[in-house]
Amino acid sequence: MNERELLKRHLPFGRLSPEALDRVVSAFQSYRFAEQEKLVVQDEVATWVGFVVSGSIELRIKQFTGGDLSFGSLRRGDFFGLMSFEPKGVSIASAVGATPGVVLMVRRDAFHQMLETYPVLKAYFYKMSLDRVWTAYQSLYQGKASEGPSPVMPGCVSLEVQKSIDFIDRNFMNPITLEEAARANGMSKFHFSRIFKDKTGMSFKEYLNMRRIHVAKKLFVADNLNVSEACYQVGFNDQSYFCRVFRKLEGYTPSEFKKICTGRFPSRKRGESHAKVVSG
C-alpha cells in the first residue's frame, strides 16, 4: 500500500511539497473495519476521519419514518468523515462498513489542524463536507436511495479526470465544450471521452447536465429563483431543454420541484405522473 499515492488522488495533497506530504502521511494509521461497523455515527461528533484503502463504506442518513437511507458509497481513495455544517459539529450522517476492508485514519482534531496548516486542503475538504451534507438531505427529502456513489461528491473519481471535474465544477455556468474539458486535463477529446466515461460512468455532457441541475435545485431552495432565472444562471441557454433535462434526471419538472419544496405539491416517485398522485 502506498499512502502517498492514495492521498494524492485528492488534488490538494498533490500540491503539497514532498516534505509536507510526508508529515501528513505520518499522522495516519491503518485500521481494519468490519461489515456493518460504524466508522462515523449520525448525531455524534466524528472522532476519526480518513480514507478508504480497501473494502467499501456506505453513507447513510436516518429517515423521518424510521430506518436508514443510503445516499452514497465510498471505495479506495475516497474520504470519510466531516459531514457537518461546521468543523466541530455533529455528523448529519453515518459511515458504515459495507464490505470489510482497511482505512487510513487520523483523529478529527489532528485533521482539522492539518487543514489550518495547509489552506489548500481546507477549502477542498470543507467543500466536500458541504456537498455531502447537501446530497444527504436531498436524498432524505426526496425519499430515495442513491444508485451507487454520487458523482457530485469530490473524492469519488480518479485523479486521471479530477482536473476536468474541477474545471467543469468551476465553469459549468458557462458554455463549456468537450474540447475545453479535455484540454484542461491535457488529453485529446476522444481519449478524454473514453477515460471520463470509464471513471465516472457518465459522458461529459451527462456530468455537465447533472452538475447544472444539482446547482439549479440549490438555487430554487436557497435563493427562490424562478425557472427561467435558474436555467440561465446554471449555464443552459434553452429553457425547454433545461426542463427536459431536469425532468429526466429528477422525475419532476422544475416547477413541480419548486412546489414540492414549498409544500404545495404532493411528493411522488420518479417517473410517476401527477394525475396518478391526484387520483390516489
Domains defined for the chain, CATH in brackets: 3-142 (2.60.120.10), 159-279 (1.10.10.60)
Q: pTM of the entire structure? A: 0.55
**How far out from the chain centre does Cα 81 lie?**
13
The pLDDT assigned to 275 comes to 34
Start-end of H helices in the chain: 3-7, 11-14, 18-26, 108-117, 119-142, 159-171, 178-184, 189-200, 204-218, 227-233, 239-250, 254-261, 274-279
How much of the chain is helix, strand and coil, in % rounded to 5?
Answer: 50, 15, 35
The pLDDT assigned to 245 comes to 92
Q: Are 255 and 262 in contact (CB under 8 A)?
A: no
Give the separation between CA 139 and CA 135, rounded to whole angstroms.
6
Which residues have a Cβ under 8 Å from the Cβ of 72 and sit 6 or more positions away?
Answer: 58, 59, 132, 135, 146, 149, 150, 153, 156
Q: To the nearest 10°, the Cα dihedral for 138, 126, 102, 197?
A: 60
The pLDDT assigned to 1 comes to 52
Give the separation between CA 72 and CA 95, rounded to whole angstroms.
9
Q: Are 234 and 219 in contact (CB under 8 A)?
A: yes
Give the separation between CA 102 and CA 1, rounded to whole angstroms.
11
Give the separation between CA 238 and CA 241, rounded to whole angstroms.
5
Cell of 156: 469519488
Give the separation between CA 112 and CA 101, rounded to whole angstroms.
25
Per-residue pLDDT in tens (0 to 9) along the chain, 280 residues: 577 777 876 767 877 888 998 899 899 999 999 999 999 998 888 889 999 988 989 988 888 777 888 888 888 888 888 776 555 567 888 999 999 999 999 998 899 889 889 888 887 787 777 777 777 766 666 555 444 334 444 444 555 667 777 788 889 999 999 998 888 888 888 988 888 877 666 788 988 998 899 889 888 877 788 999 999 999 999 999 999 999 888 778 898 888 776 655 444 444 444 333 333 3
Q: Are 39 and 57 in contact (CB under 8 A)?
A: yes
Reduced to 3 states (helix: H, G, I; strand: E, B; else coil), residue 93 is coil
The pLDDT assigned to 143 comes to 54
Report which of 101, 105, 106, 126 is spatially closest to residue 116, judged by C-alpha positions: 126
- For the chain, the straight-line distance linking the first and the last C-alpha, in angstroms and rounded, comes to 56
CA 21-74-220 angle, 5° bins:
105
